[in-house]
Structure 1
Amino acid sequence: MIIVAGARSLKEAAWLFDNGAGEVYCGLPDLPNHRRASLSVKDEKEFCRIIDLAKKKGGKTLLLLNQSWDPGDYGRFAEKVKRLVARGVDGLVVKDLHLIEYLQGAGIKSSYILSSLAMAFNSHAVDLFRRYGIKRFILPYQLTPEEALGIIKSRPRIETEIFYYPGHFCQNVDPLCKFCDWSRSYKPCKISLESGDGPFLMPAPDLPRMADIMYEGHKAGVNYLKIPRTLDLEGLKKFIGDARVLLDLLDKGTSKEKFRLRYKDVFVSDKV
Structure 2
Amino acid sequence: MNSWTRPDFAYNIRQRPMTNKPLARGGAKPLRQASDRMKVLVGVRSFKQAEFFLTRGADEVYCGLLDIPNHGMRAENFSGVDELHRTVEFAHSLGKKAFLVANDVFPAAAFDEAAGKVEALLEGGMDGVIIRDLAVLDHFKRRGMDAYFVLSTLGLCFNATTLKFFKERGISRIVLPQQLTPDEARPMFDRKLGLDIEMFCLPLFYEINLNALCSLSCPCSQEIVPGKEPPKYTCLSAIRCEGGSYSMPMPDTGTLLGYFYDFYHMGANCMKVARGPNASEVVELFFKSVYLAKLLEKGLSREGFLFEGKRICASAQNYGKRYIVQHL
TM-score by length of 1: 0.91
Q: 1:166, 1:210 within 8 Å by CA — same for their partners in 2?
A: yes
Q: Which residue of 2 aligns with 1:256?
A: 302
Residues 92-171 of structure 1: pairs in structure 2 closer than 5 A: 92-153=129-190, 157-171=194-208
- Greater shift, 182-191 or 59-68, is seen at 182-191
Q: Which residue of 1 aligns with 2:57?
A: 20
- Greater shift, 171-180 or 241-250, is seen at 171-180
Per-residue CA distance 1:186-227 (angstroms, 9 max, x = gap): 433123347899754323211111101210111111010000
Q: CA deviation at 1:118?
A: 0.5
Q: Which residue of 2 aligns with 1:67?
A: 104
Match of 2:217 among 173, 179, 188: 179
Per-residue CA distance 1:68-116 (angstroms, 9 max, x = gap): 0112212111221121111100011011111111123234331011001
Q: CA deviation at 1:239?
A: 2.2
Q: Which residue of 2 aligns with 1:242?
A: 288
Q: CA deviation at 1:156?
A: 5.4
Instruction: Give the structure with higher Rg (CA).
Output: 2
Q: Which residue of 1 aligns with 2:237?
A: 191
In structure 1, runs of 5+ residues without a counterpart are: none
For the residues of structure 1 that align with 2:190 and 2:141, how far apart are their CA atoms?
28
Asked if residue 224 in structure 1 is aligned to residue 270 in structure 2, the reply is yes
Q: Which residue of 1 aligns with 2:95?
A: 58
Code of the aligned partner of 2:118: V
Q: CA deviation at 1:59?
A: 0.5
User: Alignment partner of 1:179: what SS?
Assistant: coil
User: Alignment partner of 2:166: what SS?
Assistant: helix
Per-residue CA distance 1:223-268 (angstroms, 9 max, x = gap): 1000010153322332222222212211111011121122212222
Q: Which residue of 1 aligns with 2:121?
A: 84
User: Alignment partner of 2:59: what SS?
Assistant: strand
For the residues of structure 2 that align with 1:39 and 1:92, how far apart are their CA atoms?
16
For the residues of structure 2 that align with 1:107 and 1:84, how far apart are their CA atoms?
16
Q: CA deviation at 1:154?
A: 7.6
Code of the aligned partner of 1:58: G
The alignment covers a number of residue pairs equal to 272
For the residues of structure 1 that align with 2:173 and 2:167, how far apart are their CA atoms?
9
For the residues of structure 1 that align with 2:197 and 2:308, how far apart are their CA atoms?
24
Q: 1:208, 1:260 within 8 Å by CA — same for their partners in 2?
A: yes
Q: 2:65, 2:77 within 8 Å by CA — same for their partners in 1?
A: yes
Q: CA deviation at 1:168?
A: 4.3
Q: Once the two structures are aligned, what percentage of the paired residues are identical?
A: 29
Higher helix residue share:
1
For the residues of structure 2 that align with 1:131 and 1:49, how far apart are their CA atoms?
33
Match of 1:265 among 306, 311, 314: 311
For the residues of structure 2 that align with 1:170 and 1:82, how far apart are their CA atoms?
31
TM-score by length of 2: 0.76
Q: 1:145, 1:212 within 8 Å by CA — same for their partners in 2?
A: no
Question: RMSD of aligned C-alpha atoms?
Answer: 2.4
User: Alignment partner of 2:217: what SS?
Assistant: helix
Residues 209-220 of structure 1: pairs in structure 2 closer than 5 A: 209-220=255-266
Cα distance change on mapping 1:150 and 1:212 into 2, 3 Å? farther
Cα distance change on mapping 1:169 and 1:197 into 2, 3 Å? farther
Asked if residue 30 in structure 1 is aligned to residue 86 in structure 2, the reply is no
User: Alignment partner of 1:170: what SS?
Assistant: coil
Cα distance change on mapping 1:105 and 1:59 into 2, 3 Å? same
